A and B are shown apart, each in its own frame.
Chain A
Amino acid sequence: MKLCDLFEKGKFVVTGEAAPPKGTNTAKMLSEAAPLKDMVDAVNITDNQSAVVKMGSLAASRCLKDNGIEPVYQLTCRDRNRLAIQSDLLSAAALGIENVLCLTGDHVSLGDHPHAKAVYDLDSVQLLKIASGLNHGKDSSGNELDGSTDFCLGAVVSPCTEPVEMQVIKLEKKIEAGACFIQTQAVYDTRLLEDFMNRLARRNITVPVMVGIVFIKSASMANYMNKNVAGIEVPETIIKEFENTPGDGLKAKSLEITIGLVNAYKDMCQGIHFMPLGWTDMVPEVLKSTGLRP
């Protein structure tokens, strides 16, 4: 099922996220994804996330699909030139992948192969444009395809990254290039999200936006993200709440904070993207408590 079809029907779309294994054993990935089955509309499969070598996101996406879970195939520009990217997209179509999230990709220097050559033959806007071209039966050199793709293409944006105007300029280009849904970096500040959504409205951007939420597991994790993860700003009030929570209450606190965020966001956006980092079992409870799912 393509996410854009769900948005068109007016559905509030919910997605989760799972990481492919470091190896060939898919058991952990599938057990992590299992609580999401029938609870979310799709599950993102990350592409060598943080530039760490994992099973390919295409194979893992197909694996998820075989287990009855709709994947969002994440595809980055870091590791492939335009030939490889188009070839992988054609392969994805052949394997029944319908949703593709197009990203730049974390730099190789951040991962476990820092001496690798980073590719970035394309950027994320160009990737979207080329994927749209495949949907229209043409490769990036204008050659006719024998059989087109029919992807629902997604893009990402980082609402908390300054200068926000430049983020929005790039987002507009992504939409122009063919993105039909937007997924944001994690946001923990309702006021900030409101400002961002107003900014999109002023520019007549009407493409559905799914707001990202990474499940915070502790004060130290929040501090780590604030210091090291671009585009994430966890407010001090949330960090204080975790600091005042004993170890055995952290998951309950995370649940409470997440429910609060979803309740605050759900009328401002068209969907939520959860990044549970292993705590996928928390997603059904969040969805029930916020009334997003029965």
Chain B
Amino acid sequence: MIGTVWKPEEEILGALQNAKNIFVVGCGGCAKVARSGGQLEVDKMVKLLESNGKNIIAAGVPERTCYIQFVRTFFDPKMSELKECDAVLVLGCGGAVQVVRQATEEYGLVKHVYSGLNSVGHMDTIVPGEYFLEQCSECGDCVLNLTGAICPVTKCSKGLLNGPCGGSKDGKCEVDPERDCAWVLIYERLKALGQLENVSTYWEPKDYSKAARPRKLVF
């Protein structure tokens, strides 16, 4: 899922300073799981905005706000509110914000679309409801088959490919003593699997053209 957290309230209110009538849109996908854009958080945002003098013209949670068809389904019965609002505030990832903007443009509307969240990475659910961790950078050139299914590109703070740097101390990363050194984890796992030879040979510099943005999938 895409991890998201609330922007500081003052930043949200700053973005909305010239807007009186607000349409709040959450997301029933990742942002719901991340507790930043589900129904509970949309309700909380409505209260916050109302207590700051805003008029909430509509509020709701599409099934997935990064899917254009779900956003259309959500907006179709609320067209008058959408036309009437001064701004749409989206509690979803940066992609969701842009899909909402796309929807408003498809309706021929010129609307301010603002984001209430910061997107903080591709998150895996390690402990349901409690602990989420970024483990994949979507680099376009997966190396997990060689590293015992532990990603050095993401879990090493320097993204090193040929082994640990000199900054590893007691198996922890120099950036954060709470964080395991990815290369110590990789070493231990490959040793247990009898595959240390995977990291004993030279790895070429990564092909970052595969991560050149924006990327797309076309069918």
* Contact present for B188 and A163 (CB under 8 Å): yes
- How many residues on the B side are at the interface (Cβ–Cβ under 8 A)? 32
Nearest residue in B to A129 (C-beta to C-beta)? Answer: B202
- How many residues on the A side are at the interface (Cβ–Cβ under 8 A)? 38
Q: For chain A, what secondary structure do more than half of its interface residues adopt (helix, strand, loop), or is it mixed?
A: mixed
* Contact present for B174 and A170 (CB under 8 Å): no
Nearest residue in A to B183 (C-beta to C-beta)? Answer: A166
Q: Does A172 contact B (CB under 8 A)?
A: yes
A185 to chain B, nearest CB (A): 6
Q: Mark A93-116, 1 if CB is under 8 A from B, else 0.
A: 000000000011011011000000
A142 to chain B, nearest CB (A): 12
Q: Does A173 contact B (CB under 8 A)?
A: yes
B:145-163 near A, CB below 8 Å: 157-163
Q: Does B108 contact A (CB under 8 A)?
A: no
* Contact present for A231 and B169 (CB under 8 Å): yes
A110 contact from B171, B174, B202, Cβ within 8 A: B174
B:161-215 near A, CB below 8 Å: 161-171, 174-175, 183-184, 187-188, 191, 196, 199-206, 208
16 contacts between A and B (CB under 8 A): A78-B158, A106-B167, A106-B174, A110-B174, A120-B159, A123-B161, A124-B165, A140-B205, A161-B166, A162-B170, A166-B163, A166-B187, A172-B200, A173-B201, A230-B167, A231-B169
Chain B residues with Cβ below 8 Å from A77 are 158
* Contact present for B169 and A173 (CB under 8 Å): no
A:112-152 near B, CB below 8 Å: 118, 120-126, 129-130, 140
Residue positions of A touching B, CB distance < 8 A: 77-78, 82, 103-104, 106-107, 109-110, 118, 120-126, 129-130, 140, 156-158, 161-163, 165-167, 169-170, 172-173, 176-177, 185, 230-231
Residue positions of B touching A, CB distance < 8 A: 157-171, 174-175, 183-184, 187-188, 191, 196, 199-206, 208
